[in-house]
Amino acid sequence: MKVLLIAPNIDATDVGEAFVAFKWAQALSSRTDLTVLAFQRPGRQSLAAQLPGARVVTWPEPSWALKHERLNAMLKPAWPVFARKVRNWIASACNAGERFDIAHQLMPQAARYASPLRHFAIPYIVGPLGGALDTPAAFQAEAASAPLFTRLRKLDAFRFRNDPWLRASYARAACVLGVAPYVQNVLGDIPLKRFEPVLELGTDDVEPQRMRDQEPGHLSLLHVGRAVRTKGLRDAVRALAHLKDLPNVTLTSAGAGEELEVCRAEADRLGVADRVRFLGKVSREEVEHLYATHDVFCFPSFREPAGGVLYEAMRHGLPVITADRGGPGWIVDDGCGIRIPVTTPKEFATEIASAARRLAASPSARNTLGTNARSKVLLEGQWDAKAARLVHLYKDVLT
């Protein structure tokens, strides 16, 4: 099967979307006749060397787009440049008689970039798309400090209704993939030919099964992620205030951000500062150690499109407490964790505390959930298995 894969950034030496795109491309290259179109970032190993099993075509990433790394990652300002190069390359290839069975726009993940593939007769897939989740109304007052370019997400719904290029990109696709089922609702009234939920994240392996603390009443909770309001760290801290009768229930936070000092002050105000460790930014090795030495992964992120840290924790056999919304509400099921309805901040913290209380009281229950979490990642999350299912989807779409 001849597959054309496009993504602006594909790089094994990078992080985020670029690294995830590399893992997909690497896995697909062993199962298909793969052609990859991407930018080549200056100073990085060539993509052709990273993907020896694929045909690789790259263009230099514009230097002006690299001046502000965070802005570039969030807004993809060079996308129009990339889309034009892709469109010109495909047109030239088709004129030369080259044919592809299917094309796949793998990235960007955000559902706000019109696809150059809409201009051609090649059947194509877009996604997995994510993002575009709003902040629940009851939480908006506490999340009002978000940067301007993240608040631009509010324009997404307007564009899904009115942007003809964006609507055509999804309506003409043979299939649109979303990181979770909520994406289909987010796209609103765009007439999709087919939609499939496919988590964009994967893993190479799982960690050995470990026996956790078996003493009732003892529970070490772990939160990993950027310290921003939507990741739910403040809610986890507030939950501890409902567990003052369980002094051996503790919380560790790994991750830096503007919310960190707010959470420190919240812990002091609620009288639980002695039971919370705020580590700030830590190394990857330390994060892996934290997964291995804690009992429960508490990640009540209420605007999480996917949730890569969930897979990280689950591959260590950690049961999960998370929000029943977005990606986490789909990744985590009743067999491997507890999902909390997102209502109001007060009720949210109370329900998180209730979940922690249940797991603190029953070491056997959390061991069962942790075992199931690890098994779920082993079955669904390894890259080769994910690539096999995607190739099956390609074939199914074409028939």
What is the residue-averaged pLDDT of the chain?
Answer: 91
**Share in percent of the chain as helix, strand, coil (round to 5):** 45, 20, 35
The ranges assigned to domains in the chain are 2-202+382-398, 219-380
Q: What is the pLDDT of residues 293-343, one digit of tens each?
A: 999 999 999 998 887 889 899 999 999 999 999 999 999 999 999 999 999
Domain 219-380, CATH number (from 3.40.430.10, 3.40.50.11540, 3.40.50.2000, 3.40.50.300): 3.40.50.2000
User: In this structure, are residues 342 and 349 in contact, taking their beta carbons and an 8 Å threshold?
Assistant: no
Backbone dihedral angles phi then psi of residue 296, each to the nearest 5 degrees: -145, 140
Does the pLDDT at position 144 exceed 70?
Answer: no
Using pLDDT thresholds of 50, 70 and 90, give the confidence band for residue 71. low
Q: How far apart are CA 251 and CA 223, in angstroms?
A: 7
CA distances from residue 219 to 275, 321, 358, 370 in whole angstroms, order as listed: 11, 13, 10, 14
Q: How far apart are CA 173 and CA 113, in angstroms?
A: 14
Does the pLDDT at position 106 exceed 80?
Answer: yes
Q: Which pLDDT value is given to residue 150?
A: 52
Does the pLDDT at position 126 exceed 70?
Answer: yes
pTM, to two decimals: 0.86
Architecture of domain 2-202+382-398: 3-Layer(aba) Sandwich (3.40)
Using pLDDT thresholds of 50, 70 and 90, give the confidence band for residue 73. low
